[in-house]
Amino acid sequence: AQSVTQPDIHITVSEGASLELRCNYSYGATPYLFWYVQSPGQGLQLLLKYFSGDTLVQGIKGFEAEFKRSQSSFNLRKPSVHWSDAAEYFCAVGAHFGNEKLTFGTGTRLTIIP
């Protein structure tokens, strides 16, 4: 079964600074990988996803993520954060075959300070 770990529960970043949120997964083959964002009181919204091909994936709102098979990681990055990026971020992993389920990480809460 697949699993995903987000080691950082809470991260605080100054507005305009760069951001990297960590995600490590466990799966026997190449997985489907996703990043979702949840603003306070809202449902989740897809930021980006990786299935195959180019390991650097571009998403919405200026986010990108890089799939590194050797490190079993799929870290989310943004070069310059905005106050509106304050939210909770979830990494998720799914299997390519069978198992019709996504497994979510526990999330990283991002706080932006002026």
Partner 1 sequence: NAGVTQTPKFQVLKTGQSMTLQCAQDMNHEYMSWYRQDPGMGLRLIHYSVGAGITDQGEVPNGYNVSRSTTEDFPLRLLSAAPSQTSVYFCASTLKGYQETQYFGPGTRLLVL
Residues within the interface to partner 1 (CB under 8 A): 6, 9, 32, 36, 41-46, 49, 51, 90, 94, 100-107
Q: Identify the CA nearest to 37 among candidates 89, 84, 108, 92.
A: 89
Choice between 13 and 107, CB closer to partner 1: 107
Choice between 46 and 56, CB closer to partner 1: 46
Choice between 25 and 94, CB closer to partner 1: 94
CB of 98 to partner 1, least distance (A): 11
Rounded to 5 degrees, what are φ and ψ at 85?
-80, -10
Report the C-alpha gap between 73 and 62 in whole angstroms: 20
CB of 24 to partner 1, least distance (A): 14
∠ CA 112-59-96, nearest 5°, is 120
Task: Look up residue 52 and give its two tokens.
Answer: 């195959």
CB of 104 to partner 1, least distance (A): 4
